[in-house]
Amino acid sequence: MVGVHRRRIIWWLVVLVGLLLLARATAAPLPGVGFLQRLVYEAMAPLQRGTAVAAGWIADASGAFTAYRELQQENEALQTQIRELLAENSVMTEYRLENLRLRQMLGFKEAAKGNYDLLAAKVVARSPSAWNLSLVLDRGKADGVSPDQAVITAEGLVGRTGTVGENTAEVRLLTDPEVAVAAMVQVSRVPGVVQGRQDGSGRLEMIHLPHDAPVRPQQTVVSSGWGGVFPPGLRIGYIIEVVPEPNGLMEKAIIQPFADLNRLEEVFVVRR
């Protein structure tokens, strides 16, 4: 029984192979290719298709990597260009701001012509002290600068010259407690002495004021011209507070300078 079943399976296999061979034999022959060669080609076709697909994937991956690298290089180039443009913009901004300051200084100098002999100077160094008590200017004896000359900006009084070299000059700022300015309240003409506070606040104080003096916050304080160092009428600052002295007989006024003493770049020296 088993033998009969086995012979039947073999017979069907022979028939199936015969049919396959017949189908292959009747298919359109490849020019110059024999029957056995055609069978080999047919057997290799799936492998060839797989190889072609794999090659396509590799080509696609290679192309994607190349495109990514090109995009990366383009991005790096753009980043470099952006940094260069930012640097150029920063330089142009500095030129524009300097131009505005110089125009303001020129206008102030023209307005002051006839009242003061003003010499423009550039700040080239600043005191390392946290209180910023002094500056160094790029002008000196060769430019007519001498000790104890007033130094101002368009906003107001800055200080006075100290040690003067041939081409440089030291400036002692108003915030230095050793710099005293004979001053007065502009409206009431109440006199006093303005000096730097010793608390590092960058503010000034007007001392020797009678306790009943008509001195109020927001009033402007100017130089009086007494003492000969500072010409009269130079704007110093405005009063922000009036404080009585412990003895009850005098009071002092706390003053905010008009000039920003921490951001000075160009100033004027008032030559005699």
Q: Which of 1-5, 78-82, 171-175, 260-264 has the highest mean pLDDT?
A: 171-175
Mean pLDDT computed over 18-42: 53
Same fold, 117-173 and 180-257: yes
* Cα gap 238→5, rounded to integer Å: 122
Query: In CATH, what number does 180-257 get?
Result: 2.40.10.350
The residues spanned by each domain of the chain are 41-113, 117-173, 180-257
Mean pLDDT computed over 50-61: 64
Burial class (CB in 10 A: 0-12, 13-18, 19+), 35: exposed
Contact 102, 267 (CB under 8 A): no
DSSP letter for 156, please. -
Q: What is the pLDDT of residues 187-230, one digit of tens each?
A: 999 999 999 988 878 899 999 999 889 999 999 999 999 988 89
Superfamily of domain 117-173 in the CATH hierarchy:
Rod shape-determining protein MreC, domain 1 (2.40.10.340)
**Bigger pLDDT: 31 vs 156:** 156
